[in-house]
Structure 1
């Protein structure tokens, strides 16, 4: 099967050369352009979520043998959440090769957190089907890199951390506002803005208001801490 130069370059960035490149093409195909003859990536996303979950659960279990279930759970959630998957997707330029319908493309789909996170999970599944669990696990651990080592910081609830940051400086709690809601009912994308009393703001998108609020808080907190 012939593939374009952009897909070939993506496989180089991903670090896996597919024996069945049609699996990768399917993983990169969003439902907005899927059809009977062009299957989308939703089934692969379902599988990839499980492959990622097992990989991260095993990595955390081995990394800290003294940790309780209550300590492991938030670390696990931090490593497998959509924002983390989207961050890894941006790291390897996945958005550049996503196959999207025109309306999704015009609305900035290549940058949307939910789309990138879902596609990253689908790519993981494609590697799993193409080469087996050991190869998929090694790829995930390489791409996630030091996120596993620094997961304790990432596991903090960002909304709580941002509120503590504001209150420590005599400010009222952060205010969250829904800016927009896009996409179909079965796959909405919410844009949320968080604002501090001192004027700093940040926006984020996710498939639920709660996740979008957390992502916005995380982004603003990261910017504030970097500036400090």
Structure 2
């Protein structure tokens, strides 16, 4: 089904701070009430936070991240980012830190790459950690009893499935990039998560999974599938 959003073009075309806040609130309060208006608010937020056409490679996880941040924003839970990048770290700074005032820990194995973000974004709410040895990943996230979101996109690639399993009782939700790549063997970790969704609208796939929160997972799935139904422009 493709939604007809013509009556709501005024929503999509306006992006003042007040209007963005209204759309964010609308998504949280009405995501379980599918309508043309919900679709219009979702499109407004996509246009505000993500350049169009959607980037199908390095940035293919950005839609899942946006949906997850919006739907978990009311509890203000912390976010751990394992692997920095322009498509994740910048969004976290803009939305999670800047608007939602959430704590974010960004980590990476490349010191120079990490500093590109740390030098411009570091604060009490947004902290950065250089991972010097592979074994350092073992302690990432241990400083908090629970994380709202964990993002998996780090090196070495074989470490990703280890942390998918390690974080299962420490996070409400994980977002996993490059999930079309068989060599990562994600399925060995994702099989322990009862609730998961494989998003393939873009050429590089993204998985979203939760051990405990079926409602959150289904709401994220709904927003992501709207991008397919609405044929949001992509590369």
State the TM-score, normalizing by the size of structure 1: 0.30
Instruction: Give the number of the structure whose residues are more often helix, by fraction.
Output: 1
TM-score, length-scaled by structure 2: 0.29
Q: Which has the larger radius of gyration?
A: 1
> Higher strand share goes to which structure?
2
